[in-house]
Amino acid sequence: MLDMSTRTAFNEEHAMFRDTVRHVFERELVPNLDKFEHDGIVTREFWKACGEAGMLSPNVDEKYGGLGLDFGYNAVVAEELAYAGSSAGITLQNDITAEYIETYGSEEQKQKYLPGMVSGDVIAAIAMTEPGAGSDLQGVRTTARKDGNHYVINGNKTYITNGQLADVVILVAKTDPTLGAKGTSLILVDSDTPGFARGRNLDKIGQHSADTSELFFEDVRVPITNCMGQEGQGFIYLMSQLPQERLSIAVSCQAAAQRAFDEAVAFTKDRKAFGKTVFEFQNTKFTLADLKSQLQVGWAHLDWAIARHMRGELTTAEASAAKQWHSDMQGRVIDAALQLHGGAGYMNEYMVARLWRDARVTRIFGGTNEIMKEVVSRSI
């Protein structure tokens, strides 16, 4: 269980909400972790259970079915999900897709999608990455060509979280390919639209319970009113939402690293070697001391970043630095925690093995850490 005794970003209301989240996960998530990993997807029943408990997009305005709360409540869900050892895509819905629709969507779009996203009846994905365009979103080739009062969409997307379950996709497409980034728009595509197809549930190194898909758009026709915000402003919208997206990743990285550390402490205190516990060896104690120091720094920085974001002060450079540092730290901590497990750490039956597999991608998605350094350097 995460220790909240020294945290500074949360209040008593957050603590009460955290208790609810923990109870729901204990009942609905933990007993099903292995099943979700094996199946490569979480169930809609799990989504519904989270929705019924107010854990899906708690910051959405009450008039759209949400609780109208601050980002701290989103962070609570992300922390507890990562600490439980799950990669389920609910944080994507909480911190990214719902935020896009509430911020840039028309009133009609908000009324259509947000209540279902809060209840768990509607699952959303955002389709940015393409086979030839990853961190550099200016290279997107998917097009949305005007034909009367419709767009005709053609293109492919890949590595899309929630792709197998999604009822609606926020599509990043070029409405005017001649304008580069200035020709990028965000368009809502319902999954039952003719011409839309899902590819396979991709076979990943880790994060097995997060369904991740290829998506195909072949002459998909959607009304022009499905454009979110202004046409051609999509790239600006994407850049504007980067602080919350990257902070969300940092939150999950920190909590997962803490779980790996806790697993290592418990294992080394129980495991015997040469007549004493592994924990009693100086190398073990010094390694754990170093990891604890890194985690202490991480929690302090994370609370600083969460508090700044809730005040609307967190910059893109600061969020990028947080994403880069916490994901790098996560990799170091979990790798060391696995080493302290010895051969057991390489066995899938141990939680640390799952945490280690799941951690590798956090230095890649949301913008690679190399790109994060580039972003930070521009602020110097």
Cα(73)–Cα(69) distance, integer angstroms: 7
Sign (positive or negative) of CA dihedral 103, 105, 106, 111 = negative
- For residues 124 and 160, is the Cβ–Cβ distance under 8 A? no
- For residues 248 and 71, is the Cβ–Cβ distance under 8 A? no
| Beta bridge pairs of residue 160 | 213
Clarify whether 245 is annotated catalytic.
yes
SS3 170: strand
Candidates 245, 349, 370, 374; catalytic one: 245
Q: Record the tokens describing residue 30, joined without a space.
A: 């933990």
Angle at 340 between CA 336 and CA 343, to 5 degrees: 115
Cα(41)–Cα(88) distance, integer angstroms: 8
Cα(362)–Cα(206) distance, integer angstroms: 11
| Beta bridge pairs of residue 148 | none
Pairing of strands 196-201, 150-161: unpaired
Q: Give the closest residue to 215 by CA, choosing from 185, 181, 186, 189.
A: 189
Strand locations in the chain, DSSP E?
A: 124-127, 143-147, 150-161, 168-174, 184-190, 196-201, 212-223, 227-228, 272-273, 276-277
Q: List, by residue number, the catalytic residues.
A: 245
